[in-house]
Structure formats: C-alpha cells, structure tokens
Amino acid sequence: MTSADTQHLANPTADTDIDAAHQVLRRVFGYDSFRGEQRAIVNHVVGGGDALVLMPTGGGKSLCYQVPALVRPGVGIVVSPLIALMQDQVDALSALGVRAGFLNSTQNPDERRMVEAQFVAGELDLLYLAPERLRLEATARLFDRGKIALFAIDEAHCVSQWGHDFRPDYLALSLLHERWPDVPRIALTATATQKTRDEIIERLDLHGARRFVASFDRPNIQYRIEPKNRPDRQLLDFIRTEHPGDAGIVYCLSRNSVEKTAAFLTENGVTAVPYHAGLDNRTRAENQARFLREDGLVVVATIAFGMGIDKPDVRFVAHLDLPKSVEGYYQETGRAGRDGLASTAWMVYGLNDVVQQRKLIDASEGDAAHRRQLQLHLDAMLALCETVHCRRTQLLAYFGQPAEPCGNCDTCLTPPESWDGTVAAQKLLSTVLRLKRERGQSFGAGHLIDILLGKMNQKVQQYDHHELTVFGVGTELRDVEWRGVIRQLLAQRLLAVHGDYGVLTLTEDSNAVLFDGRKVLLRREPEQATPARAVRSAKTARAAKATPADLAPEDVALFEQLREWRATTAKEQGVPAYVVFHDATLRDIAASKPTDLPGLAAISGVGDSKLARYGEQVIELLATAMDTSGAQV
C-alpha cells in the first residue's frame, strides 16, 4: 500500500486519524499495536503538533515519523546525518511498499533531479535529506514547490555542541520553523541527559513542542562488566561460549587494536571485519555493507561505527576498552537486540583503562571547564564499572529513571562480595604520601605495587625504595588484587592519576582515609576465569535466551530453513537479510506454521507488501517442510 491509499483515509477528525494510523501500522508494517509512547506521539504529530521524542536506541523511533508521514498529506522530510545508510533505509521502506527517496552528496545531478521531480509531483511518502543540503537556497525553493507532511529531525542530539556527535549543519535546522511555521516538526534522539535535552529545545526552537520521554530500559539486553586480563582471549571465549555464529559489534579505542582484534578473531574462526576512520572510504563502506547484509558477521570498530545502524539482530556488543561516558556506553550497547530478543552487552575493563582515559582528558583541547566535564563523565562510567548494585538500576538512574534490581545483569546474577578495604587503602595511600613527602617523588601503579609486595627489582634498588617503612607491607594481597584496589580508589576519587606515565597522587578525600578513619568498601576481584565461572556464564546465557519468542527444539530446523531461504532471497535482491524479514518474524513463522496467506498475514512483521511478495514462497516452504518431517515420522 502506498500513501496514495492511506491519505484518502486521512481526514480532520481525530478518531479517523487514529484509525488511519493504525491501518498504516497493520497494513504497511505488519505490526498489531504501537509500542509504549508511539501511539501518543503518532497522534500528536498527525494532528499537526511539534514533538521532542527521547527514546533509547531500538525503542522504535522510526515509526513515530514514518506513520504520520504516511497518514498526513504530502511528503515527510527526514533530516539525518547518516548518509551512508540512506540507501538501506530507502530499500527497507521500498520493501514495505513505501515510496521513499533521498538527497545527499553521493548522488550525481541526474539522480538528484529525478528525486526532486518525484518530490514535486507528490510521488514520495518520505524524503531523506543530508543536513548540509539545508544550507542551500535551492533546497528551500524545492520545498516550496511540493507539499510537506512533516519535518523529522533524526539524531537530534547532533545539534548539541557539548555532545560527542556535534554537526555544525544541524544549526541550520532552526530555519525550518521560521520558513514553514505550519509544518509539524518531530525531533528524535536516544541521548537524553537534561543538558542535551535543553540544548536541543533551545537550538531547534522547540519550546512549544510536546515532550515524550520513553522508558530507557532495554530489558532484553544483559549487562556484564568483567576485569580485563587477556582481552582478546576473553572476547574469543565469550563469543565461542555464548554467541557462536551471531552478529556482534566489538568496540576498541584505537585503530591499531581494532585491526589486531579483527585479525585475531578471524584467525580463530570468528569472521570479523575492521571499521575505523583510518580506513579508506571504500573499505569502510564495504565492511559496513557486509555487516548489514551477511548473517553472523562481527565488526570490530572504533566509536566511528554504529550511529544509525538499525540492523535488528545484533546479538552482542562488546567493549574491550572503557567508553568515555555512560551516555556513549548506553548508545553503543543499545545497538544490540533491537528486535527485542535476548542480547548481551559485555565489557572488560582494567586499571590501564582508567590511566588511559585520564591521559586523554589531560591531553584534550578545550578549557578547564571542558576537562572537568570530561572527568565527570569518566567518574560516572567508573562508578558503573565498580558498583556492587544492579548495573541496570545505575544506568537508568543516570538517565533519571528509577528502577528495581533487574535480575539480568552480572551483579544481579552473581552478586559480588564486598570487603573492608580500609587497611589496604591506607597502606597504598601512605606509600604515595611517603614517596611524595620524604622523596618528592610520584610513581605509577606498577612500581607502587612492587613496593607494597616487597619486590627487590632494579627500579626499587635504583631509588633505594626498600628502605621505605612501607616496603613489603602489602603481601596479603596479590598483584591483581592491588590493581583492583587502585582501580577502585580511583573510581571513588580517593586517588588521582595523571600524565603520560599514569602517576598516582592523593586527592582531597584521601586524608579522610589516612587520618580520620574513613572506611573504604571494595568489591572483591572475581577469580580469573575458572572453569566454574565459564559454566555459570554459559548457563546464564541460556537462561537469558529463553524468551517467549524462543523456539521449541523441533522448530529450530524449520527456522534455519527459513533463514536459508531469506539469505538467498536477500542476495537476489541485493538487500540486507532483515529487509526481507526480521529474525523475530521468522521465529514466529516457524513456531506457528501458518498454512495459508491469512494465517501468515497475522504474524507480526508481515505487512501487505511482504505478503504479496513472499507469501506464496513461504507457505510453500512450510508445506514442503511439514511433508518431509511427516514422512520421516
């Protein structure tokens, strides 16, 4: 169905608008009902209101503007910074029978002219637009020649100068309202701190817009943070035991470690491609396209990768390095499990991460206020890593949302023990203090630990550090445990780290521990991945996978057959597999085994267009499969 049909359904009275929106949802997208806030948002925008939508990644933002664009007369203009993904977005909409096009710098003038002509003729439902085109007067003149249903501003946080994705072109978006005051605007983002929110409203002049804040919880994602020892090995074990053959994203800080990790995974039988800003455009586009199109590929990337990637079946997001902020972490992990099926956000983290991040902050451009801001971001991230409470509760609290312990994060599943680390903290802090007071020296973690453990090495002898009274007073803890103590003292701001060498110094709060008897509670370092632990995590992984949409063992073969059919079909059409059908839809088909087209149409994710295109093939595949399995009995 195209909007030519749906627009006839649209008329000024609210009830029919709701009916029309619901019809579009059912017939075009094949979904039974709106999710959460979607209904209210759609109604508001269909009625001509402005909206600011805050919804987590995977929450379902696209429908919030796609449905109103189909219901309201005219073309929905979608401003998006994700030029590389526009073709895929248009393909996905075309598969649904929606008439969509885009205008960006990747097109030649002829291609552009064709899309412009379609726009003017009212032959489009949705037009995706790169933000830099807004600066062109030609774009404004084009808009004046067609009818506009709404402006959708995707990734609206790009307008925020404090945020990590600032795009100067987004500042031109305030023009929209001045020039077309009657066209409703809907701004959408998954980045939701109050500061960013206020900035979006201010810069886009959305003061009169209604705000919709969805729950930021992503219950199908399991959050886990583990101590880092051999990150490559740990990652490989994690993928092998919990996500063999699954699509996933691995984030690393540097281009170098991206390359190394991708090579390491591939050598060990996990197909992985690198993605970072240092690769040439073609390789990057190619690797992104492979990730979107192939089933079960792993991409190892810097944070340059992922915004707007709407692949629904990413089963895990792994971090081998500490992200800079909780916001960044939440956005990156949010790319897992958009289809609502069980997924894992897994991270390893160690003392070096803290030293590294601190170094980056010290070296960053910008004034003291900016650096302080970065430090606050890092502190919040460290607090999340070191918490003995539910990770999800802590994450949601960061976004201003209260929540109970979730039962689906590592601290809920295996509550960490805490221990009284006051004496250990005193020993460490007084070593730092003595070195400073008695010798005027500061050192990094490694050397401090050697002193505490009483190691007679070259550096100790060179500086006569065996003569310090604290030499060898810390043998009750092992090296890794001391590293854990230091990490946690940094997280609690009882210790600070500086410069290229990761030199440790005291903070204002250190004195309270050294002299005023302030207690220090620490999280016990889990044993290094013992077999018992591996078994436990495999078990929790299975438990997490037992979602309602999960398959009975006898249906798994059928599901795999459907996936094979989907792979072939997608390849023939040159589109990602999920554009044909999502995993969740194939699971439902395998479980309910419809025998005719109406039965198939009832399944979530099967709209009119896909029913017409694939219905017969799927029913036939099911019939054949049932015959064969019947014959075998």
Q: Does 253 bind Zn ion (CB under 5 A)?
A: no
421 binds, among ligand ADP, Zn ion, none (CB under 5 to 8 A by kind): none
409 binds, among Zn ion, ligand ADP, none (CB under 5 to 8 A by kind): Zn ion
3-class SS at 33? coil
CB of 73 to ligand ADP, least distance (A): 23
Q: Does 409 bind Zn ion (CB under 5 A)?
A: yes
CB of 217 to Zn ion, least distance (A): 11
The residue (of 320 and 603) whose beta carbon lies closer to ligand ADP is 603
Strand (E) or helix (H) holding 248:
strand 247-251
The residue (of 29 and 565) whose beta carbon lies closer to ligand ADP is 29
Distance between CA atoms of residues 544 and 532, nearest Å: 18
CB of 411 to Zn ion, least distance (A): 6
3-state helix, strand, coil in the chain (%, to 5): 50, 15, 35
Q: Does 412 bind Zn ion (CB under 5 A)?
A: yes
Q: Looking at 160-251, list the stretches that DSSP marks H as alpha helix, in order from N- to C-terminal side.
A: 174-179, 194-203, 231-242
The residue (of 220 and 261) whose beta carbon lies closer to ligand ADP is 220
Residue closest to 442 by CA, chosen among 495, 481, 368: 495
212 binds, among ligand ADP, Zn ion, none (CB under 5 to 8 A by kind): none
Q: Which CA distances in Å does 404 have to 321, 395, 408?
A: 28, 12, 11
Q: Does 406 bind Zn ion (CB under 5 A)?
A: yes
Q: Does 384 bind Zn ion (CB under 5 A)?
A: no
The residue (of 31 and 346) whose beta carbon lies closer to ligand ADP is 31
57 binds, among ligand ADP, Zn ion, none (CB under 5 to 8 A by kind): ligand ADP
The single-letter code of the amino acid at 338 is: R
Q: How far is CA 213 from the centre of its chain?
A: 18
Q: Does 390 bind Zn ion (CB under 5 A)?
A: yes
The residue (of 413 and 567) whose beta carbon lies closer to Zn ion is 413
The residue (of 85 and 448) whose beta carbon lies closer to ligand ADP is 85
310 binds, among ligand ADP, Zn ion, none (CB under 5 to 8 A by kind): ligand ADP
72 binds, among Zn ion, ligand ADP, none (CB under 5 to 8 A by kind): none
Length of the chain: 633
382 binds, among Zn ion, ligand ADP, none (CB under 5 to 8 A by kind): none
Which residues sit opposite 187 in a β-bridge?
Answer: 52, 153
60 binds, among Zn ion, ligand ADP, none (CB under 5 to 8 A by kind): ligand ADP
27 binds, among ligand ADP, Zn ion, none (CB under 5 to 8 A by kind): none
Interface contacts to ligand ADP, rule CB under 6 A: 31, 34-35, 38, 55, 57-63, 310, 312, 338-339, 582, 604
Q: Looking at 509-607, list the stretches that DSSP marks H as alpha helix, in order from N- to C-terminal side.
A: 510-515, 531-545, 556-573, 577-580, 583-592, 597-601
CB of 578 to ligand ADP, least distance (A): 8
Distance between CA atoms of residues 360 and 381, nearest Å: 15
Specify the stretch interacting with Zn ion by CB under 5 A; choose among 269-277, 387-395, 494-502, 518-526.
Answer: 387-395
406 binds, among ligand ADP, Zn ion, none (CB under 5 to 8 A by kind): Zn ion
Burial class (CB in 10 A: 0-12, 13-18, 19+), 215: middle
CB of 536 to Zn ion, least distance (A): 16
The single-letter code of the amino acid at 492 is: Q
CB of 433 to ligand ADP, least distance (A): 50
Which residues sit opposite 505 in a β-bridge?
Answer: 496
Q: Are 215 and 263 in contact (CB under 8 A)?
A: no
Q: Are 193 and 171 in contact (CB under 8 A)?
A: no
Distance between CA atoms of residues 332 and 303, nearest Å: 8
Distance between CA atoms of residues 231 and 527, nearest Å: 15
The residue (of 35 and 135) whose beta carbon lies closer to ligand ADP is 35
Distance between CA atoms of residues 585 and 486, nearest Å: 48
The residue (of 154 and 386) whose beta carbon lies closer to Zn ion is 386
293, 319, 338, 392: which one binds Zn ion (CB under 5 A): 392
338 binds, among ligand ADP, Zn ion, none (CB under 5 to 8 A by kind): ligand ADP
Q: At what angle do helices 62-71 and 38-46 cross, to 10 degrees?
A: 40
CB of 345 to Zn ion, least distance (A): 12
CB of 411 to ligand ADP, least distance (A): 26
Burial class (CB in 10 A: 0-12, 13-18, 19+), 203: middle
Distance between CA atoms of residues 603 and 30, nearest Å: 7
Chain residues binding Zn ion by CB under 5 A are: 390, 392, 406, 409, 412
